[in-house]
């Protein structure tokens, strides 16, 4: 995967967002430590890009950082429909998580849905995970007013943050 240099963020407001020219991918996850991970060292959502392509498809890219220096990127291409963009964004985040955990766990996106609730859009994702504790299902959500696709990627992180913090990054 290349860098995220100059990519535009496709939210309803349009325009561009500044990007970090050094943003790339890392081939390894974190090294084990006997000290607890500080709050600023948790896996962070760093970048989201959704491009609507001229052929009726979309491409989502998600960038995650850990400890401020390790970077992981996931990408997915899918149909340019409301449901397709949600799934594409969520899968791109799942792909970035897969890089971050370097095989210690696996994630499978089971479903993603945006529902109208509390005068806003709530994006809900369901994931199957498999790690040293065995298989389990997790659910995450994200409340958004303007960008459901970005919300789908953040819902994936919300579904996995406690699991990742407890199992992988607290060692």
Q: Where are the domains of the chain?
A: 41-167
| Closest to 85 in 3D by CA, of 55, 121, 114, 60 | 60
How many residues are recorded in the chain?
Answer: 171
> Each residue of 31-66: pLDDT tens digit?
333 344 344 467 889 999 999 999 999 999 999 998
Q: Looking at the domain that runs over 41-167, which CATH code has it been given?
A: 3.30.160.270
What number of other Cβ atoms are within 10 A of residue 160's Cβ? 25
Contacts for 92 with CB less than 8 Å, ≥ 6 apart: 60, 61, 62, 74, 75, 76, 153
> Each residue of 12-29: pLDDT tens digit?
333 323 333 333 333 333
> Each residue of 69-86: pLDDT tens digit?
889 999 999 999 999 999
82-101 vs 148-167: helix crossing angle, rounded to 10: 20
pLDDT greater than 90 at residue 90:
yes
> Each residue of 113-170: pLDDT tens digit?
999 998 889 999 999 999 877 899 999 999 998 999 999 999 999 999 888 876 555 5
Strands 57-66 and 106-117: unpaired
pLDDT greater than 80 at residue 93:
yes
In the prediction, which pLDDT does 153 show? 98
In the prediction, which pLDDT does 112 show? 98
């Amino acid at each position: 995967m290349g860098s995220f240099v100059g990519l535009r963020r496709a939210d309803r407001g349009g325009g561009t967002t500044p990007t970090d020219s050094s943003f790339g991918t890392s081939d390894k996850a974190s090294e084990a430590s006997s000290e607890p991970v500080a709050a600023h060292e948790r896996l962070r959502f760093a970048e989201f890009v959704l491009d609507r392509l001229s052929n009726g498809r979309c491409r989502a890219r998600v960038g995650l950082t850990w400890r401020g220096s390790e970077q992981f990127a996931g990408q997915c291409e899918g149909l340019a429909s409301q449901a397709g963009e949600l799934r594409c964004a969520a899968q791109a985040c799942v792909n970035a998580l897969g890089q971050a955990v370097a095989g210690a766990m696996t994630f499978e996106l089971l479903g993603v849905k945006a529902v109208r609730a509390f005068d806003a859009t709530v994006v809900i994702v369901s994931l199957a995970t498999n790690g040293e504790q065995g298989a389990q299902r997790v659910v995450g959500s994200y409340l958004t007013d303007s960008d459901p696709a970005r919300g789908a990627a953040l819902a994936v992180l919300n579904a996995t943050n406690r699991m990742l913090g407890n199992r992988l990054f607290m060692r």
